[in-house]
Amino acid sequence: VVIYIFFPTPKGRNKSFQIKFFRINSCRFASCWVFFTLIAFVSSMIRYFSEDISFRFKNKQFTNSWLRTVAGSELKRIGDINIIFCSDNYVLDINIKYLKHDFFTDIITFDYCQNNVLSGDLFISIDSVRENALFYNTDFSVELNRVIVHGLLHLIGYDDHSEDDIKIMRSKEDYYLQLRSSLI
């Protein structure tokens, strides 16, 4: 028995998965097995999107592997994470609407984590990342990776409200950026 499963993805493209079953006596068993296999696969994804800007993120597979390593180092695992690249104004609108903050920021993280499974939405302002890269005299891709891991660290449970929290967060960012460099 061969079962094809199609499900919609962003921008209307369909992904298909072929799952083969051999010597299955019960259709009910096959249906449950397909369902749980699909749920396990789909619920453990890092996806990338762009909203209101034209931006193409490169090295998705490598970044996914790196983020899984970061999560594992913190005794967590990746669930369903959406990384959305957008403009300053898009992030500002979200900041005002959902957080009641009327200021620009480079990232807003919405946390949907359950237990040790990291899930959430990371809205990243490409405008702010570019500005920060210039301000800190660093490469755009390094700053972008810093902001991505910053969002993941928020999902893990780190905060940056106090001076002590900020020091811990920066230390973790530096450590994981160094780890990323060593993986290349």
With helix as H, strand as E and coil as C, how does the chain read? CEEEEEEECHHHCEEEEEEECCCCCCHHHHHHHHHHHHHHHHCCEEEEEECCCCCCCCCHHHHHHHHHHHHHHCCCEEEEEEEEEECHHHHHHHHHHHHCCCCCCCEEEEECCECCEEEEEEEEEHHHHHHHHHHCCCCHHHHHHHHHHHHHHHHHCCCCCCHHHHHHHHHHHHHHHHHHHHHC
Q: What is the mean pLDDT of residues 88-113?
A: 97
How far is it, in rounded angstroms, from Cα 18 to Cα 37? 11
Pick the more confident residue, 10 or 170: 170
Q: What is the mean pLDDT of residues 41-56?
A: 86
Given a cut of 90, whether residue 17 has pLDDT beyond it is: no
How far is it, in rounded angstroms, from Cα 117 to Cα 44? 9
Q: What is the mean pLDDT of residues 128-144?
A: 98
Q: What is the mean pLDDT of residues 165-181?
A: 98
Q: What is the pLDDT of residue 135?
A: 98
Given a cut of 90, whether residue 112 has pLDDT beyond it is: yes
Q: What is the pLDDT of residue 148?
A: 98
Q: How many other C-beta atoms are found inside a 10 Å radius of the C-beta of residue 80?
A: 16
Confidence of residue 32 (pLDDT cuts 50, 70, 90): very low
Given a cut of 50, whether residue 121 has pLDDT beyond it is: yes
How far is it, in rounded angstroms, from Cα 98 to Cα 78? 24
Q: What is the pLDDT of residue 129?
A: 98
- The per-residue pLDDT of the chain, averaged, comes to 84
- Whole-prediction pTM: 0.78
Question: 2, 20 in Cβ contact below 8 A?
Answer: yes
